[in-house]
Amino acid sequence: SWGGNGFDHVDEALRITRSRGKECGIHFTTEEAHHSNKFLNEWTLRHPEFWCRAADGKPLMFHASLAFPQVREHKLRQLDELLAMGPTTIYIDHTARSGGCGPWCEHVAPVLEEWNRRYPGVEPPKERNDPRWSRVVSKFYHDYFREIRKRLDQTGRKIRLIVTAGQEGFPVA
């Protein structure tokens, strides 16, 4: 509930939608700067070690990288809370909006380790649109979406998952 007042606007909206016999869905971006949800911002502020980073190491506040298992688990706990409310659709706005802003801000330890595993001895690219880098970054997003689908299926209900693609520098791999 927002502000501890006992009222949950998402649960109420889904309840009203269902009572009218309509399909109900949630726009589930879980990208902290795209939400006004206090809980998300507080969690991210408490965990700067998970913030996205540009190639020069500059952190991107309020954006936690999906490359970290702790971030994925945090976001999946939120998904579980939403699934308990009974939506029939989960909509994720742009693949990159599910975590950071795109490959250019994913210069974090797990991605760099994956890069070094795939391209030993090759420096990670500094260019924004290097397709090799996008493929490495997309592994973490893909794994996250697979986990979301698995959780949707585990409910035993038919829940549509809609994920749009189309972030600059983030080809669908």
Return d(Cα 35, Cα 58) in angstroms, integer.
22
Return d(Cα 165, Cα 163) in angstroms, integer.
7
Q: What is the pLDDT of residues 121-168, one digit of tens each?
A: 999 988 777 889 988 998 998 898 899 999 999 999 999 998 876 555
Q: Going by DSSP bridges, is the β-strand pair 89-92/59-64 parallel, antiparallel, or unpaired?
A: unpaired
Please state the pTM of the whole predicted model.
0.79
Two tokens, residue 68? 């970290």
Return d(Cα 139, Cα 172) in angstroms, integer.
11
Decide if pLDDT at 173 tops 50: no
